[in-house]
Amino acid sequence: MLHDPSKNEKDIVAEDLCDEIDNVALYISNEKNALSVIQYLFKNNLIYLFQNLVIAIRIFLTLPVTVASGERSFSKLKIIKNYLRATMGQERLSDLSIISIKKDFSEGINISDIIKDFALKKARKAKFI
């Protein structure tokens, strides 16, 4: 379809998109993924002929692949907040949430070394003569 100045250029017309997909499929049957299709359209200056397809591919390429890790992080934070809500400051809550989210990193930490460092820093001896 020709460019219609009355329409917003960022809107997708579904009927035109289906036609554009059919037409592009005739030209580029060897392209296997969305990125190579949009690169082909840009390289051959076809983006103005297939505007709806270009917009749809751009949206597709910017979608997040997965959101599971973000959801897991928030659920861990919720568990920590509920368990220790009244007895903890914001800095400690932040530190515990990072440890919980980055569990694979925290499992590699040697606890005995941390205890020794903590004991040396907190050792308070009064010297009497």
Confidence at residue 6, expressed as pLDDT on a 0 to 100 scale: 52
Confidence at residue 100, expressed as pLDDT on a 0 to 100 scale: 78
Helix locations, 48-102, DSSP H? 51-62, 68-84, 90-101
Cβ atoms < 10 Å from Cβ of 53: 24
Confidence at residue 128, expressed as pLDDT on a 0 to 100 scale: 64
Confidence at residue 73, expressed as pLDDT on a 0 to 100 scale: 57
Confidence at residue 120, expressed as pLDDT on a 0 to 100 scale: 79
Kind and range of the H or E run holding 23: helix 14-27
Confidence at residue 62, expressed as pLDDT on a 0 to 100 scale: 83
Confidence at residue 1, expressed as pLDDT on a 0 to 100 scale: 46
- Residues 36-62 have pLDDT tens digits of 888 888 898 888 888 888 888 888 888
Confidence at residue 41, expressed as pLDDT on a 0 to 100 scale: 87
Mean pLDDT, 10 residues at a time, the chain of 129 residues: 53 82 81 83 87 86 66 65 68 78 78 82 65
